[in-house]
């Protein structure tokens, strides 16, 4: 059965000139509609949902626009956009879908920037972390964005219910994820490593995981690993099919939340390739 896409055009309403702008999502959504995917509309997450991960004071500061940093502006109504993006992750987690929403989330910890980093990398609320917390299941979070998810690691560090596994480019923003510790498994790769090395490293990383412990896989999917994107690991469209195949091989229910990927046409085609790799092998 084809994975459903969770999307709302409301998420296109801010940040027109930012690198994390609406065009990347608009173009990707148009491509996926043309390919026949079914789309579902999310509703905003409740504040009680947000408090599962974030402190009240941090949420208040997001509401009031007191959170601007060098790459994460305090847009008008950004709290509402971010709440809707969390709602996309929540709906995806309930149906095994793919949340095609913005803003992304994996750089945000409990109180904002995480693990000694001073910016939030285009993120306001940690979408995937909130969805995983709400489900409350033994979960493997697989983060294949090209940047390390320092916020997600911080939220779940030491949590016996969750293992966080990240493959990311180094050196690159945010400069974290150089070692594995407790329930966190980090693997880093050089810029433009290429599909062969990437997939070999992913296989090696997955071999460290006892899948019998988990009832769910939550995937932070970033397509900034595509050749020429912001965290290029030299991947091309067919490599994302292979990543989807490996997620399917875990043989657990899964859901997917978009993180990075800044070339809209490539993002749309890569999502299709990734989901076909997953669907054809599960």
Looking at residue 170, which CATH number applies to its domain?
3.40.800.20
**45 Cβ neighbours under 8 A, 6+ residues apart:** 83, 84, 86, 87, 90, 125, 130
Q: Each residue of 183-205: pLDDT tens digit?
A: 999 999 999 999 999 999 999 99
Q: Is the separation of the CB atoms in 8 and 84 below 8 Å?
A: yes
**116 Cβ neighbours under 8 A, 6+ residues apart:** 176
Question: How far apart are the C-alpha atoms of 112 and 9, rounded to whole Å?
Answer: 26
Query: Average pLDDT, stretch 269-274?
Result: 98
Kindly report the pTM of this predicted structure: 0.98
State whether the Cα torsion 121-45-157-223 is positive or negative.
Answer: negative
Question: Which string of DSSP letters, residue by residue, matches 69-102?
Answer: BTTB---TTHHHHHHHHHHHHHHHHHHT-EE--S
For residue 50, the enclosing domain spans 5-279
Q: Each residue of 151-177: pLDDT tens digit?
A: 999 999 999 999 999 999 999 999 999
Measure Cα distances from 51 to 90, 116, 139, 224, 282 in Å.
Answer: 14, 22, 19, 29, 34
Across 79-89, b (16+ Cβ under 10 Å) vs e yields bebbbbbbbbb
Tokens of 43: 């509703």
Q: Is the separation of the CB atoms in 256 and 97 below 8 Å?
A: yes
Query: Average pLDDT, stretch 137-163?
Result: 98
pLDDT for res 1: 75
Q: Each residue of 216-270: pLDDT tens digit?
A: 999 999 999 999 999 999 999 999 999 999 999 999 999 999 999 999 999 999 9
Question: Of 54, 106, 107, 263, which is the active-site residue?
Answer: 107
Question: How far apart are the C-alpha atoms of 235 and 270, rounded to whole Å?
Answer: 10
Indicate if 263 belongs to the active site: no
The residues that bridge with 99 in the sheet, in sequence order, are: 6, 257
Question: How far apart are the C-alpha atoms of 212 and 43, rounded to whole Å?
Answer: 33
Alpha-carbon 226 to chain mean position: 15
Domains held by the chain: number: 1
Q: Each residue of 21-73: pLDDT tens digit?
A: 999 999 999 999 999 999 999 999 999 999 999 999 999 999 999 999 999 99
CA torsion, ordered 249, 102, 139, 55, to nearest 10 deg? 170
Q: Is the separation of the CB atoms in 108 and 120 below 8 Å?
A: yes
Q: What is the mean pLDDT of the chain?
A: 97
């Amino acid at each position: 059965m084809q994975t459903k896409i969770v999307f709302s055009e409301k998420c296109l309403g801010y940040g027109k000139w930012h690198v994390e702008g609406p065009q990347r999502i608009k173009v990707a959504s148009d491509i996926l509609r043309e390919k026949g995917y079914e789309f579902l509309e999310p509703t905003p997450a409740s504040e009680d949902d947000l408090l599962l991960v974030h402190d009240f004071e941090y949420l208040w500061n997001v509401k009031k626009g007191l959170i601007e940093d060098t790459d994460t502006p305090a847009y008008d109504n950004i709290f509402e956009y971010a709440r809707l993006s969390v709602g996309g992750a929540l709906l995806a987690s309930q149906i095994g879908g793919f949340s095609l929403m913005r803003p992304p989330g994996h750089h945000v910890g409990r109180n904002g920037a995480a693990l000694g980093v001073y910016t939030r990398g285009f993120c306001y609320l940690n979408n995937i972390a909130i969805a995983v917390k709400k489900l409350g299941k033994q979960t493997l979070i697989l983060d294949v964005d090209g940047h390390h998810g320092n916020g997600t690691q911080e939220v779940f560090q030491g949590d016996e219910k969750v293992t966080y596994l990240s493959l990311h480019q180094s050196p690159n923003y945010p400069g974290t994820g150089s070692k594995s510790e407790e329930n966190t498994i980090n693997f880093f790769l050089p810029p433009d490593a290429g599909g062969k090395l990437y997939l070999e490293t992913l296989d090696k990383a997955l071999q460290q995981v006892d899948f019998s412990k988990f009832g769910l896989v939550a995937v932070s999917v970033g397509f900034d690993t595509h050749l020429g994107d912001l965290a290029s690991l030299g991947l091309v469209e067919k490599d994302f099919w292979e990543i989807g195949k490996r997620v399917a091989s875990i043989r657990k229910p899964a859901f997917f939340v978009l993180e990075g990927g800044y070339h809209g046409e490539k993002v749309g085609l890569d999502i299709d390739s990734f989901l076909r790799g997953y669907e054809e092998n599960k």
